[in-house]
Chains A and B, each alone.
Chain A
């Protein structure tokens, strides 16, 4: 199975900050990497698919990059609605494993 790790596990930031979250796969997953945002008590929402494609309706301050084993989610100009937990997931091969999550909270 492909293992997914994320760093950091949590971070504190201020409104307007630029934030980056890293996701690493235990083997090459090409660009089959998705990013999700989950606000408290809500279902997750897809932000980015195939590493860098922005899901329709998602603000352009979210961007994704990377391929192979190393990926990054960047939020340029953090907004109050962005304080949430972020998960990566590989959809290269089953089981489609998720990363453990990165919690972004207010500094």
Chain B
């Protein structure tokens, strides 16, 4: 069974940093592109970015709203994808989901990030 588990969320002050983790199981993690999608409270879904598999270059793409502040990386030996979030803003407050495949075939339960002073 494919499972994705996010962790690392919490309350953080504006301007600070936070790193989220996404641990995958039940599949060969390194074979897949991994995405991050977020949802602000009471709002719709926003694609954050993805990291391709190493076989496809391991490159990343980001939404304009996070580019230059957020970095996605992966450690395939541990089946973990990371979302490093720097210079956090109040508008980054959201549930952050990791997903598998370009079509977001599988989703984790999400982790809540609250940016507030």
Where the two chains meet, the residues of A that have a C-beta atom closer than 8 Å to any C-beta of B are 1, 34, 36, 38, 43-46, 49-50, 55, 87, 89, 91, 94-101
Contacts and interface: CB of A to CB of B under 8 A. Distances in A.
Interface string B26-64: 000000000101000000111100100000000001111
A44 B105 contact: no
Nearest to A6: B44
Contact of A89 (B61, B104, B105, B108): B104
B110 to A, nearest CB: 6
B63 A36 contact: no
B8 to A, nearest CB: 17
B25 interface: no
Contacts, number: 52
A52 B116 CA distance: 42
A94 B46 CA distance: 12
Interface string B58-75: 000111100000000000
Given A36-B45, A50-B103, A89-B47, 5 more contacts: A34-B104, A91-B103, A96-B47, A96-B102, A98-B47
B84 interface: no
Interface in B57-105: 61-64, 97, 102-105
A100 B42 CA distance: 12
B104 A95 contact: no
Contacts of A87: 44-45
Contacts of B63: 95
Contacts of B61: 94-95
Contact of B104 (A46, A50, A94, A97): A46
